[in-house]
Amino acid sequence: MKTVLSTKMLSLPQKELFLNSGLGLVEYDALKIELLDVKIPLNYVNYIFTSKNAVHAFLKQAMHSDASRFNAFCVGEKTKGLLETNGMKVVEMAQNALDLAEILVKKHQKASFLFLCGNKRRDELPETLTKNNIQYKELMVYRTLFNSKPFQRKFDGIMFFSPSGIQSYLSENTVENSTLFCIGETTAAEARKYSKRIIVANKPTVENVLVQTIKELSFRT
């Protein structure tokens, strides 16, 4: 039986996608998230979120505030869904940080923002905002830590959901001949440093990574 490694623990509905695929599944969390003990100012109107982790940090401190008075600008459909579920208005959503930055430059030139991020945040968004004189402040609200684990076996496919997840996995392992399934181009760019056997999801969602993996490995002879 071909076996796939997920570098992220999957939900039950996500795992059910594998039930009839004929593929074995091994899963673990390559990363650990630590929310930082920092005071998040709640006097801003516009907040930038590039991950659900930043949203969790914000909601922890804003739980007694009227969420509808905050405007959110975010990356990813799952992040957007989490914000809206908690009563926040999502003004703009993009599939990656650079696209979001370009939307802010084009449509929100005169607004000011608080960018809530982690220690592994990429440079594209703040660099684009700075270059175009967009008023913003940046606050680190969580830390991403490697959760290293050695595997004494090979996998036919490995599913990666962030560049940090790749780095964590490779701190104890190699990719060898595994096909690497990546959630988006940013993750794929990191993966290409180590392999040419890469497939990128059509949409940057966990479910699409799973579908691509099953489609590729279930029917490959």
Q: What is the pLDDT of residues 80-93, one digit of tens each?
A: 999 999 999 999 99
Contact 28, 149 (CB under 8 A): yes
Whether residue 36 contacts residue 140, with contact meaning beta carbons closer than 8 Å, is answered with yes
d(CA 188, CA 111) in angstroms, rounded, equals: 33
Which one of 3.40.50.10090, 2.70.98.10, 3.10.400.10, 3.10.129.10 gives the CATH number of domain 33-144?
3.40.50.10090
pLDDT digits (tens, 9 = 90+) for 104-145: 999 999 999 999 999 999 999 999 999 999 999 999 999 999
- Any idea where the domains of the chain sit in the sequence? 3-30+149-218, 33-144
Asked whether this chain's domains 3-30+149-218 and 33-144 adopt the same fold, the reply is yes
State pTM to two decimals.
Answer: 0.89
Amino acid 63: pLDDT: 86
pLDDT digits over 27-77, tens only? 999 999 999 999 999 999 999 999 999 999 999 999 889 999 999 999 999
pLDDT reported for residue 221: 45
CA distance 142 to 144: 7
Q: Which residue has the higher pLDDT, 63 or 150?
A: 150
pLDDT score of 220: 58
Residue 64: what pLDDT? 87
The CATH architecture assigned to 3-30+149-218 reads: 3-Layer(aba) Sandwich (3.40)
Instruction: Give the pLDDT of residue 219.
Output: 67
Angle at 183 between CA 90 and CA 140, to 5 degrees: 55
The mean of the pLDDT values for the chain is 95
